[in-house]
Amino acid sequence: MAIAGAIAWGVLALSRGEEINAIWLVVAAIASYAIAYRFYARFIVRKVLKVDDSRATPAERLDNGIDYQPTDRRILVGHHFAAIAGAGPLVGPVLAAQMGYLPGTMWIIFGVIFAGAVQDMVILFFSMRRNGKSLGQMARDEIGTVGGIAALVAVFSIMIILLAVLALVVVNALAKSPWGTFSIAMTIPIALFMGFYLRVLRPGRVIETTALGVGLLLLAIIAGGWVQESGLADTFTLSPEALTICLIIYGFFASVLPVWMLLAPRDYLSTFMKVGVIGLLAVGVLIAAPVLRTEAVTDFAREGNGPVFSGALFPFVFITIACGALSGFHALISSGTTPKMIQKESQVRLVGYGAMLMESFVAVMALIAACILEPGLYYAMNAPAGLLGSTAESASAAVANLGFTISPQDLTAAAAEVEEQTLVARTGGAPTLAVGMSEIFSSVIGGSGLKAFWYHFAIMFEALFILTTVDAGTRVGRFMLQDTLGNIWKPIGRVSWKPGLWATSAVVVGAWGYFLYTGVTNPLGGINQLFPLFGIANQLLAAVALAVATTILVKSGRLKWAWVTGIPLVWDATVTLTASWQKVFSDNPAIGFFAQRDRFADALDRGEVLAPAKSLDDMRAVVTNSTVDGVLAAFFAILVIIVIANAAWVCYKAIRSREPLPTTEAPYEKSKIVAPAGLFPTAAEKRELAAVGAASGSPPEDRP
């Protein structure tokens, strides 16, 4: 594996001015992941965290059948992956392809190994040791009142924005798509069936339940195509407004129902769809062997004047590719639902580190899908409408001015192949990824005749991919709000108290639902004004998580291992605060929020209308949006600086103190659960499971 990885990285690093096959990216990624999981993750688990399987987890000690529930690690890794894998690994790499394939590939792979997966696993472990407390509450407990309050405010407000943006992507993907809407709607009753089957009808039969669930999921996907061609199409053709209401209702129930009933089985089910499609995409790359059409490093990376997004390679490629390498949102899941469900401490390696490696591979495949497209088509889809115009002819001319070539006829033909009216200015990354996936799949199965099928299948897949993050994120938001309000009034902090559970769930879905509905009904306002903050806010959240993790390591007497999270913290803070500074203070209207505001405000005073606005009312909306963007970017950065400064002070006190500083780790209780640490049990674990099974009369390992 090391030799294969070295060869692949050598080809990517040294090849210039020649065609590079996408296979090398796949090999480099898989080899790097395997070595990191085998050695680095195990080192952290054994030496840094010192996991103890004799210690009962909160899922075992506090089992209440609602939020705390010992869950089979195969189900849990599926839930965790489905919850963390949202829009970021799909959309971010597509947009970052503007910089070339090499910077994105390096950040996705090395970033996840040394930062993203480490953050997810370490936060999961520390939350688990503290009865599953949320990230914000851990910050308040471990860093102190000032830094803790700043962290609570930053984490919750950023999370509402992230959830609203993710939900907006789902709405845009499913609006007026009966196939996608039907298929995704069917995952809800299938998940409910799986939950009752596994808990009531056939307890412990994980493999049996999985087979039934996956079979029903495949049937739902196929049936979605039938529905689209039938008289039921109108029933499942929903407007963005209707989809928004449906999402809000679903988010509420996903937050309040017992975790075993809907959330865990649905996320587990979705994982098969996600992993299956990405796996097939990787196989398609190996079979079709597509050539990367993008340069290793483009001129846009050096000059910072790209049409997709403005700004130099540093820091903006690291902000654009968020979830595939490092994501603060993951820390919310790792301190939300997952630590309340994990059976054994040793499973943090599989669930925390392993699931993040899976998401990183999704990002690599998304980057490949974008980079195999002809650059002319890529920029015709991802450059803004203000630059491209609304016709194939104007888009062709604009792309030519960028230094690339695509004829109006080629643009029209590309749209016709996927049965779309136009592909011009289909920004946001999702349509580009769908076109790239259809290129790969159709070259292996069906040829150009099935390209439209694969394109619409990819759109539906993207919506499913993101929706599972919205429902789990809503539940985590409820945990955070309960933890925060519990500091003021104790009863509402109890996760088993139904009135508090319902009230806080309603507040969370109401908050992100409001911004979502505003964005859907006013394309130039609402949540769209917050979308540019998505990457920055997400990475600032990661800085909070890494600061908390580093502080706990130092306070618990593990100063010599603090570099494990400390180095990623320094890198992330440097990159993200640099990006925040530029977005707030840059005098380039294409980069700075306030510079953009001044440009549109001056034009508004003259009575002029600038693209993308089409009226004076639109101009006023852009002015307002840019102002809010700038204020929020500065506000989030200040909060994170306060958190990091307080964390540094606590670490300094811990180092100077002769006695260990107080910690909030829960007291030790002996565990009675026997379960494997990894996906497949070792020989010793099989013997232990067999002994327990013989004593209790329970089924073998596939029925723990």
pLDDT band for position 97 (50/70/90)? very high
**Contact partners, residue 520, CB within 8 Å, separation at least 6:** 168, 171, 240, 241, 244, 526
Name the token pair of 639.
Answer: 């909060």
| Position 483, amino acid | D
Residue 284 included in any domain: yes
Give the integer Cα–Cα distance in Å for 462 and 345. 32
Does position 326 have pLDDT exceeding 80, yes or no? Answer: yes
Mean pLDDT of 490-501: 76
CA distances from 137 to 5, 134, 150, 278, 480 (A): 41, 5, 11, 35, 7
Give the integer Cα–Cα distance in Å for 619 and 345. 54
CA distances from 142 to 58, 105, 423, 447 (A): 19, 35, 50, 57
Give the integer Cα–Cα distance in Å for 137 and 139. 5
**Contact partners, residue 223, CB within 8 Å, separation at least 6:** 182, 183, 186
DSSP state string for 557-571: T-GGGTHHHHHHHHH
Mean pLDDT of 486-497: 74
Say which residue the tokens 């070595």 belong to: 35
CA distances from 469 to 142, 276, 501, 568 (A): 27, 18, 20, 24
pLDDT band for position 693 (50/70/90)? low
Question: Would you state the pLDDT for residue 700?
Answer: 46
Q: Express each pLDDT in 21-68 by its tens digit.
A: 999 999 999 999 999 999 999 999 999 999 999 999 999 999 987 789
Q: Express each pLDDT in 329-388 by its tens digit.
A: 899 889 988 999 999 999 999 999 999 999 999 999 999 999 999 999 999 998 887 788
Does position 416 have pLDDT exceeding 70, yes or no? Answer: yes
Residue 670 included in any domain: no
Residue 694 included in any domain: no
Give the integer Cα–Cα distance in Å for 487 and 485. 5
Does position 697 have pLDDT exceeding 50, yes or no? Answer: no
Q: How many structural domains does the chain have?
A: 1
Count how many residues are written for the chain: 704
Q: What's the CATH code of the domain at 420?
A: 1.20.1740.10
Highest mean pLDDT among 240-244, 356-360, 455-459, 480-484: 356-360
Give the integer Cα–Cα distance in Å for 649 and 651. 5
Instruction: Tally the C-alpha atoms within 13 A of residue 91's C-alpha that lie toward its C-beta.
Output: 27
Question: Would you state the pLDDT for residue 701?
Answer: 44
Question: Would you state the pLDDT for residue 161?
Answer: 82
Residue 224 included in any domain: no
Name the token pair of 141.
Answer: 């407990």
Name the token pair of 574.
Answer: 């440097």
Which domain range does residue 371 map to?
1-175+238-390+413-656
Give the integer Cα–Cα distance in Å for 520 and 625. 15
CA-only gyration radius of the chain, Å: 25
Residue 185 included in any domain: no
Give the integer Cα–Cα distance in Å for 345 and 412. 55
Q: Express each pLDDT in 583-638 by its tens digit.
A: 999 999 888 999 989 999 999 999 998 877 778 888 888 888 888 889 989 999 99
| Position 289, amino acid | A
DSSP state string for 631-643: HHHHHHHHHHHHH
Mean pLDDT of 231-259: 86
Say which residue the tokens 């953009």 belong to: 596
Question: Would you state the pLDDT for residue 698?
Answer: 46
pTM exceeds cut of 0.75: yes
Question: Would you state the pLDDT for residue 506?
Answer: 92
The whole-chain average pLDDT of the chain stands at: 87
Element (H, E) at 556: none
Element (H, E) at 292: strand 291-292
Residue 233 included in any domain: no
| Position 160, amino acid | I
Residue 664 included in any domain: no
- Closest among 123, 267, 8, 126 to 568, alpha carbons compared: 123
User: Which residues are paired to 55 by β-bridges?
Assistant: 670
Does position 5 have pLDDT exceeding 80, yes or no? Answer: yes
- Closest among 192, 55, 148, 69 to 668, alpha carbons compared: 55
Question: Would you state the pLDDT for residue 679?
Answer: 85
Element (H, E) at 21: strand 20-21
Does position 72 have pLDDT exceeding 60, yes or no? Answer: yes
| Position 342, amino acid | I
pLDDT band for position 696 (50/70/90)? very low
User: Which residues are paired to 21 by β-bridges?
Assistant: 291
CA distances from 173 to 216, 359, 442 (A): 23, 20, 21
| Position 199, amino acid | R
Give the integer Cα–Cα distance in Å for 515 and 489. 28
Question: Would you state the pLDDT for residue 613?
Answer: 77
Give the integer Cα–Cα distance in Å for 594 and 609. 18
Name the token pair of 342.
Answer: 């994990």
Give the integer Cα–Cα distance in Å for 693 and 704. 9
pLDDT band for position 699 (50/70/90)? very low
Question: Would you state the pLDDT for residue 240?
Answer: 84
Name the token pair of 156.
Answer: 């919750």
Name the token pair of 442.
Answer: 């159709």
Question: Would you state the pLDDT for residue 534?
Answer: 79
Mean pLDDT of 156-171: 82
Residue 214 included in any domain: no
| Position 189, amino acid | P
Q: Express each pLDDT in 287-312 by its tens digit.
A: 999 999 999 999 999 888 888 888 88
Cis peptide before 315 (omega within 30 of 0): yes
